[in-house]
Amino acid sequence: MCAPKPTSRFIFSTLILLLLLGSFITITSSESSKANDDVDDMEGIEELMALDEEDELQEQPPPEGVHHDKPSEAEVLSKAQRIVLELNTDSTKRVIDENEYVLVLGYAPWCARSAELMPRFAEAANSLKDLGSSLLMAKLDAERYPKAATVLGIKGFPTLLLFVNGTSQPYSGGFSSEEIVIWTRKKTGVPVVRISTVAEAIEFIKQHLMFAVGLFQKFEGPDYDEFVEAATSDNEIQFVETSSTEVANVLSPDIKPTDRFVGLVKSEPEKYTTFEDTFKKEKILQFLDHNKFPLVTVLTELNSARVYSSPNKLQVYVFAEADDFKELLEHFQDVARKFRTEIMFVFVDIREDNLAKPFLTLFGLEESDKTLVTAFNYKRGSKYLLQSDLTPKNIEEFCLGLVQSTFSPYYKSQPIPENKDASIQIIVGKTFDDLVLRSPKNILLEVHTPWCMTCETTSKQIEKLAKHFKGLESLVFARIDASANEHPELQVDDYPTLLFYPAGNKSKPIKFSTKSSLKDLAVLINNHIKGSQDHTTKDEL
Ligand SMILES: *[C@@H]1O[C@H](CO)[C@@H](O)[C@H](O)[C@H]1NC(C)=O
Ligand SMILES: *[C@@H]1O[C@H](CO)[C@@H](O)[C@H](O)[C@H]1NC(C)=O
């Protein structure tokens, strides 16, 4: 969608991460309302990310063998202008009502993302026409014709909607012209492309980097029906079918003699994967979901949304410079082969700040330029860091530990500070156990972050209180920067927070309101110290 104010990609990635890892990341209260607004806008984000992907696609030369005699952009556009119907207030309803399939692009002329999508939409219109599709492709200037836009349900730009006999469904495919073609054909009655000759197969391979192939003796029966249903509900992979073993072997070599076969073909190592489960739609879709990524996926803005939404929620991320990673790639592919069904392996170029920083910040390692191996378990909301040398053996043990849940999650910590003679003890992740939970004293802990607006006021109050209670041996004032330090027992999502840990009962800290006056706080502290003393005394009796 076209956002009136520009929003950086960094915020998108960070936001997605926050959502995924929400259960253990804490954000400031002033920011959380913003995050909530953004959550409402989540649909928009997915689309935007998909569009961002296309910026990249645009920059990359087309893969070899694709579009050998591609017409010039101008030719495509002028041809497309004749194919893509321009809707207006009068024609919209009629066009939607009178055609079985209409794919509508709602755009705004000023929106750059609309402008980017337009030529691809046009190119897709051409391809679909050449393929004999009965689909009508139309566009609507939603700003000029707001009423028509409302009738269609167009709320942002660009919006793609497919109308089938007047009923709309949102577009859920990719945003290159090829992806528009694949998705649209799937949803308009051609979920599978049939290939009958070796020549057609050779031509098809040239044009597709990834596809699912089905070999069936006859195009009928329950197994075949499930295959077609999978093809229809999948949103991005082109399906092909053939009844000829010879053709099937061109598409996916070395198929064992069989009466039916389904496989996935990709353009990277592990090029051919065979489906070995029962022929059920869900199983086929699951198989594709688990296998469509390479052994090690290179994270880009193009695929980040897909990587995060992969069904594989245990993901190992390697952060390195691209050249360094080249040397490590084979190791990782070997490990990835072993853990292929349990772990997704992702490489992130550490120099790509937009991609790498949001992750590295989670480890407090945003300034690092060394190769790092980390992992996320999105189901549990925990993160892991491999801290031993990056030998193949250590990496494999790390993965095994992740799979068996024996590897401990990572908690951020600053280095242990010098606290001697300080009136307020600085606590870090590493000292939280010793100085708070295992301390025999009452602790008043101020949890703050550098960016929180009202933290300073509270800090000043705590300093005054520390002065006031100076000399009271049983009470310690402490402070922790929650942006740089974490501990599983410290669950705070609002800053500043004041927590009182009574001596002898550290498992349930008592929250003091930061809005209390200095005097009220002093009274509270006194009462609780007394309470804990009474308690301790009672225990001792
Ligand atoms: C659309 O409506 C026509 C006429 O009623 C019908 O023949 C056709 O099957 C419908 N198409 C779909 C995809 O439902
Ligand atoms: C610990 O503190 C909690 C909350 O104040 C209280 O309910 C509980 O009884 C205390 N337990 C002990 C052993 O003092």
Ligand 2 centroid to residue 504 C-alpha, Å? 9
* Residue 228: pLDDT over 50: yes
Nearest-angstrom CA–CA distance, 363 and 410: 8
* Residue 15: pLDDT over 80: no
- Average pLDDT estimate for 482-487: 94
Closest CA to 284 of 194, 192, 195: 192
Q: In the annotation, is 452 catalytic? A: yes
Q: Answer left, alpha or beta for residue 270, where phi above 0 means left and psi between -120 and 50 means alpha.
A: left
| 7 contact partners, CB below 8 Å, separation of at least 6 | none
pLDDT in tens, 253-293: 988 888 899 999 998 777 899 999 999 999 999 999 888 88
Closest CA to 120 of 110, 107, 133: 107
CB count in 10 Å sphere of residue 490:
21
SS3 readout for 254-293 = CCCCCCEEEEEECCCCCCEEECCCCCCHHHHHHHHHHHCC
Q: In the annotation, is 2 catalytic? A: no
426-444 burial, b for 16+ CB within 10 Å, e for fewer? bbbbbbbeebbeebebbbb
Q: What is the pLDDT of residue 529?
A: 87
What is the full DSSP assignment across 72-136? PHHHHHHHHHHHSEEE-TTHHHHHHHH-SEEEEEEE-TT-HHHHHHHHHHHHHHHHHHHTT---E
What is the pTM (predicted TM-score) of this model?
Answer: 0.67
pLDDT in tens, 76-129: 556 655 689 999 999 999 999 999 999 999 999 898 888 889 999 999 999 999
Nearest-angstrom CA–CA distance, 181 and 17: 31
Q: Tokens 């007047």 label which residue?
A: 166
Higher pLDDT, 12 or 295: 295
Ligand 1 centroid to residue 161 C-alpha, Å? 18
Q: In the annotation, is 399 catalytic? A: no
Q: Which residue has the CA at smallest separation from atom 13 of ligand 1?
A: 164
Q: What is the pLDDT of residue 304?
A: 83
- Average pLDDT estimate for 480-488: 94
* Residue 156: pLDDT over 90: no
What number of helices (H) and strands (E) belong to the chain? 19, 20
Average pLDDT of the residues of the chain:
85
The DSSP symbol for 407 reads S
Instruction: Sketch out the chain's domains with CATH numbers.
Output: 425-540 (3.40.30.10)
Atom of ligand 1 nearest to the CA of 165: 1
* Residue 5: pLDDT over 70: no
* Residue 530: pLDDT over 80: yes
Tokens of 332: 């990782």
Atom of ligand 2 nearest to the CA of 507: 1
Closest CA to 173 of 157, 185, 163, 156: 185
